């Protein structure tokens, strides 16, 4: 992507500053669902070939209300239906609560996405200077960087398969997930004379350089 993904707080502030209420909710929905434009836009969507568009329901999980959205995942082979379910906890994700309210008032997201892919691209370009697919990229980046999703979890969320997930795509996101294992390394090694010398040397190198170690 040509536009770098900002941290989650900066991104959300930018989205909340979108003046048009409908456009703002379109961006929030596309982001949270990590959906392709062709999976969202009702006017020229590829989804009808799979026998249906998005379906929504509310469920309770561990005493928490969760919005479940079932949507088709577009694959190269258009003759095979493939679906994924995106789960969004309403009490922890305020944007999901907004989506649920819209669905309750209108029956579906069709009034929001009764547009073409080009129109959605115009919306994201006008307000954020990005294309719709960048929102999918941003969501996956935040799932890994902020929420600590694993490779298996992001493939489930994004509708990927390990077979289709190339090495370059893995490298794009998984370098962010060092937080998932680094705590296990916070364990002292057995003390030896060699180790003590090496530790002292590394301490001197680190504190003298004062350079930030980037992931």
Q: pLDDT in tens for each of the 215 residues of the chain?
A: 457 899 999 999 999 999 999 999 999 999 999 998 988 888 887 666 555 668 899 999 888 999 999 888 876 455 566 788 899 999 999 999 999 999 999 999 999 999 999 999 999 999 999 999 999 999 999 988 888 887 778 888 888 765 555 555 555 555 545 555 555 556 565 565 544 444 545 454 444 455 454 54
Evaluate the CA torsion angle 37, 4, 90, 87 in order and state its sign. positive
Cα 152 to Cα 162: distance, rounded to the nearest angstrom = 8
30 within 8 A of 23, measured Cβ to Cβ:
no
Cα 128 off chain centre by: 17
How many beta carbons lie within 10 A of that of residue 56, not counting itself?
17
């Amino acid at each position: 992507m040509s536009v770098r993904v900002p941290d989650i707080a900066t991104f959300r502030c930018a989205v909340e500053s979108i003046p048009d209420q409908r456009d703002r909710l379109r961006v929030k929905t596309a982001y949270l669902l990590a959906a392709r434009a062709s999976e969202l836009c009702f006017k020229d969507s590829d989804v009808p070939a799979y026998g249906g568009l998005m379906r929504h329901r509310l469920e309770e999980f561990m005493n928490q209300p969760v919005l479940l959205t079932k949507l088709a995942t577009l694959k190269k082979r258009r003759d095979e239906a493939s679906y994924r379910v995106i789960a969004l906890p309403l009490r922890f994700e305020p944007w999901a609560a907004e989506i649920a309210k819209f669905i309750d008032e209108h029956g579906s997201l069709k009034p929001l996405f009764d547009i073409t892919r080009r129109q959605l691209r115009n919306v994201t370009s006008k307000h954020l200077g990005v294309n719709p697919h960048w929102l999918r990229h941003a969501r996956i980046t935040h799932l890994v960087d902020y929420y600590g999703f694993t490779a298996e979890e992001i493939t489930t969320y994004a509708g990927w398969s390990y077979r289709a997930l190339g090495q370059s795509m893995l490298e794009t996101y998984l370098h962010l997930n060092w937080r998932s294992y680094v705590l296990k390394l916070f364990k002292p090694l057995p003390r030896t004379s060699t180790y003590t010398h090496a530790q002292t040397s590394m301490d001197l190198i680190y504190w003298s350089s004062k350079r930030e170690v980037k992931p």
